[in-house]
Amino acid sequence: MEEPEWQREHLVAWIFGIFACLALVLAAVGLYSVVSYTVAQRVNEFGIRLALGAQRGHLTRIVFASVLGSVGGGIVVGLALALAMNRVIGQWGGSDARDPLLLLAGVVVMSLVAALASAVPARRATGVDPMLALRCE
């Protein structure tokens, strides 16, 4: 029994959606892991900064600034690849990958996921006890 054309397109859309969600979860877990590891490696530095009078907001900005460079580069490369692969994406998905609202939505979602994945390690960085960090040095 042969499927109608719309059922195949519906199946392809579901498969793309599932893979997109899986990729988003993997990106969030990977980014969280990397930022957590980086914050754990810099605990002494953050403790010393706090001991010398740095505000907790300043430490949060340091963590988010380090994430901004890698996430921003990834978003730029992803946009360039999406635009370059427009023909292939159009063949599979049946739509244009140059839709500005679609690209903007992707950038916003990735930015939000990156912010959420970085928020917990950034909060952990601000909770460092300066005396413990100074004792470890």
- Cα(131)–Cα(133) distance, integer angstroms: 5
Over range 30-37, report the average pLDDT: 93
pLDDT at res. 3: 65
Token pair of 67 as six digits: 């994430």
45-64 pLDDT per residue, tens: 888 888 888 898 998 999 99
Over range 88-117, report the average pLDDT: 81
Q: Which of the four pLDDT bands, split at 50, 70 and 90, describes residue 99?
A: confident
Residue 2: DSSP 8-state: P
Over range 5-20, report the average pLDDT: 84
- Cα(118)–Cα(68) distance, integer angstroms: 10
- Cα(131)–Cα(121) distance, integer angstroms: 20
Q: What is the pTM of this model?
A: 0.77
- 22 within 8 A of 104, measured Cβ to Cβ: no
- 16 within 8 A of 97, measured Cβ to Cβ: no
Over range 95-108, report the average pLDDT: 81
pLDDT at res. 29: 94
Q: What is the dihedral of CA 70, 31, 79, 93, to 10 degrees?
A: 170
- Cα(45)–Cα(84) distance, integer angstroms: 42
